[in-house]
């Protein structure tokens, strides 16, 4: 195993052990929220969360629909939000399918967004718009941007694809880096900071609508198979609380009210649906395929 992957694996093991101590600790902070009038909702860089107006639209709708005060929490990395959620310091969070599968024993799905009428999305491999590259092999030797080490579309999919072809990111690419935002992957490729990148297809398509000048500097080299859209998850012990039930109702009925439709329009989503964890079996297969490399 390359040294960089060994270090990633060690750090992930340490992170998982840290979460376990938080979850099992006596007097866990979760018990303090059962009668709260606030829902603590976390957002990762899984979508366009650097848009302040979008955060206000989400907060406005969820407060109207649930009757609770919504306390939004954002962080730079997926690990930070996952840690807060699994330790009970958040009541719910919009996370990625990758961390959901990793912590499936501790988490349950509250709702899954629908994009273009389906709870699915793809990962895109992208490069500079004027480059003659049309397949994965054309990206060999690139400086390549991933979004986050816990992102399915922005890391896991490409890593698994390389592994299927007997390759690894450490040897296939000249260098890799994490931008900690799908939007920043697009920026890095468009500006020439990197030669290629792995990005959430939903984010790329939405950015093509709202910032066409930026996305025009990139092109799609390859689209992945379809995966379950990043879910809204809660810790299992919180799943049957009044807050969780109110939040679920608000999400599932979001297309039925003006405020809900405003939120969906901003997100370019068609709604939220109830979903079974099997929706993320394809993510689980990639994790199993890579095994100790993660």
For residue 190, the model assigns a pLDDT of: 98
**What's this model's pTM, rounded to 2 decimal places?**
0.86
Run means of pLDDT, 10 residues per run, the chain, 294 residues: 44 46 40 72 71 86 97 91 95 95 95 97 98 96 97 96 94 97 96 97 94 96 97 92 96 96 94 96 93 63
For residue 5, the model assigns a pLDDT of: 45
166: left (phi over 0), alpha (psi -120 to 50) or beta: left
Q: Rounded CA gap, 26 and 43, in Å? A: 27
For residue 31, the model assigns a pLDDT of: 43
User: CATH 3.40.190.10 spans which residues of the chain?
Assistant: 3-119+228-293, 123-224
Q: Rounded CA gap, 245 and 190, in Å? A: 42
Q: Where are the alpha helices (DSSP H) in the chain?
A: 3-24, 52-66, 78-86, 97-102, 157-164, 169-172, 182-191, 201-210, 212-215, 242-252, 258-267, 281-290
User: Among 177, 174, 228, which Cα is nearest to 200's?
Assistant: 228
Q: Which CATH superfamily is domain 123-224 in?
A: Periplasmic binding protein-like II (3.40.190.10)
Burial profile 15-51: b = 16 or more Cβ within 10 angstroms, e = fewer: eeeebeebbeeeeeebeebeeeeebbbbbbbbbbbee
Q: Rounded CA gap, 130 and 21, in Å? A: 50
Convert the pLDDT of each residue in 260-281 to its tens digit: 999 999 999 999 999 999 999 9
For residue 7, the model assigns a pLDDT of: 46
CA distances from 275 to 232, 265, 272, 286 (A): 10, 21, 9, 20
Residue partners of 102: CB distance under 8 A and separation at least 6? 16, 150, 287
Convert the pLDDT of each residue in 144-193 to its tens digit: 999 999 999 999 999 999 999 999 999 999 999 999 999 999 999 999 99
Could you count the other beta carbons within 10 Å of the beta carbon of residue 143? 16
Tokens, residue 253: 């009925």
Q: What is the DSSP string of 86-130?
A: HTTS-SEEE--HHHHHHTTTTEEEEEEEEBTTBSEE-EEEEEETT
CATH number for the region 3-119+228-293 comes to 3.40.190.10
């Amino acid at each position: 195993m390359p040294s960089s992957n060994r270090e990633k694996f060690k750090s992930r093991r340490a992170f998982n052990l840290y979460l376990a101590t938080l979850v099992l600790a006596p007097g866990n902070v979760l018990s303090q929220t059962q009668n709260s009038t606030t829902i603590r909702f976390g957002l990762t860089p899984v979508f366009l969360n650097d848009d302040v107006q979008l955060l206000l639209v989400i907060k406005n709708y969820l407060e109207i629909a649930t009757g609770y005060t919504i306390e939004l929490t954002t962080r730079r990395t997926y690990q930070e939000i996952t840690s807060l959620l699994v330790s009970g310091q958040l009541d719910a969070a919009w996370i990625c399918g990758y961390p959901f599968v990793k912590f499936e024993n501790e988490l349950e799905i509250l709702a899954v967004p629908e994009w273009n009428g389906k709870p699915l999305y793809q990962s895109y491999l992208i490069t500079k718009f004027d480059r003659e590259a049309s397949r994965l092999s054309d990206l060999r030797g690139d400086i390549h941007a991933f979004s986050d080490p816990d992102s399915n579309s922005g890391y896991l999919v490409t890593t698994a694809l390389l592994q299927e072809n007997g390759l690894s990111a450490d040897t296939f690419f000249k260098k890799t880096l994490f931008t900690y935002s799908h939007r920043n992957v697009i920026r890095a490729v468009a500006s020439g900071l990197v030669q290629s990148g792995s990005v959430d297809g939903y984010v790329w398509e939405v950015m093509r609508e709202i910032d066409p000048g930026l996305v025009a500097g990139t092109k799609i080299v390859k689209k992945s198979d379809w995966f379950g859209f990043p879910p809204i998850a809660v810790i299992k012990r919180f799943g049957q609380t009044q807050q969780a039930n109110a939040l679920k109702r608000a999400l599932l009925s979001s297309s039925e009210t003006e405020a809900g439709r405003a939120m969906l329009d901003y997100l370019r989503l068609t709604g939220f649906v109830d979903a079974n964890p099997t929706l993320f079996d394809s993510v689980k297969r990639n994790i199993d395929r890579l095994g100790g490399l993660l």
